[in-house]
Amino acid sequence: MTNTDNTSNTNTTDLTETIITELLAIKAVKVSPSKPFQYASGMISPVYTDLRMTISYPELRQHIATGLTALIKRQYPNATVIAGVATAGIPHAAWVAEALSLPLIYVRSHPKDHGTGKQIEGALSSKDHVVLIDDLISTGGSVLGAAKAVSAAGAHVDGVVSVFSYDLPDATTNFEQAKTSLTPLLDYHLLLEHLTNHHELSETDCELAKAWHNDPWHWQPVSM
């Protein structure tokens, strides 16, 4: 794959701002300090970003695919296979693979317990250079589990891209330990900056959102 990314920094900023605006318009981001959400890792948070909603909005999902495609062309120009992480990463991976004319695979969280018993679906060889796509990174546990399966199958993991990352210290540590790079399209700081600049979050909720991010495992729900 050749690197033909012409996206300037300004255009990238415009695109990420557009995507954040569109995510807020479809209410994909929820802030609920008194009734918090539990994440896949077990972490409790006042913020939830439901990127699964994006698949129902063609313009938004196309903006996401454009952004992810540009990231991959720039960061991982030698990729030969795009991998979607089950389940929410799969549709985005499919649209990106289509845009790049690259093969698609997807990786289950666990091997199937019937049929072929596979964890990785699709064709993968030991010569392949794989970029994994997950919709969202909190601790990175899901995508790094998928990356481990790809490595165990003998292929090379070039890196991970995601639509969003909370940019949590857990993820930084986990990606470092796995010697895997992560490039998200959007992150928590960009989101909070947008919400603050556009007065879409009360000062109290903004402080709460920051307090959670500073110490997510010890954050306590706000009693009302």
Ligand X SMILES: O=P(O)(O)OC[C@H]1O[C@H](OP(=O)(O)OP(=O)(O)O)[C@H](O)[C@@H]1O
Binding site residues, ligand ORO, CB under 6 A: 39-41, 48-50, 136, 138
Instruction: For residues 185 and 19, give the distance between their C-alpha atoms in angstroms, rounded to a whole number.
Output: 10
Instruction: For residues 222 and 183, give the distance between their C-alpha atoms in angstroms, rounded to a whole number.
Output: 33
| The pair of three-digit structure tokens given for residue 41, joined into one six-digit string | 């890792």
Element (H, E) at 149: helix 141-152
Instruction: For residues 189 and 183, give the distance between their C-alpha atoms in angstroms, rounded to a whole number.
Output: 14
Burial class for 13, CB neighbours closer than 10 Å (0-12, 13-18, 19+): exposed
Question: Any known ligand binding at 64?
Answer: no
**Residue 50 binding result from ligand ORO, ligand X, none, given CB thresholds of 5 to 8 Å by partner type:** ligand ORO
Q: Does 37 bind ligand X (CB under 6 A)?
A: no
Dihedrals phi, psi of 147, to nearest 5 degrees: -65, -40
Q: Closest approach of Cβ 30 to ligand X, in Å?
A: 14
Cis bond upstream, residue 87 (ω within 30): yes
Q: Does 41 bind ligand X (CB under 6 A)?
A: yes
Residue number with CB closer to ligand ORO (57 or 122): 57
**Residue 140 binding result from ligand ORO, ligand X, none, given CB thresholds of 5 to 8 Å by partner type:** ligand X
**Residue 128 binding result from ligand ORO, ligand X, none, given CB thresholds of 5 to 8 Å by partner type:** none
SS3 state of residue 80: coil
Residue number with CB closer to ligand X (41 or 196): 41
Size of the site for ligand X (CB under 6 A): 16
**Cβ count near 150 (within 10 Å):** 21
Which part of the chain contacts ligand X (CB under 6 A), choosing from 38-46, 98-106, 113-121, 211-219? 38-46
Residue number with CB closer to ligand ORO (49 or 180): 49
**Positions at the binding site for 5-phospho-alpha-D-ribose 1-diphosphate:** 108, 112, 114, 134-142
**Positions at the binding site:** 108, 112, 114, 134-142
List of residues contacting ligand X (CB under 6 A): 39-41, 85-88, 134-142
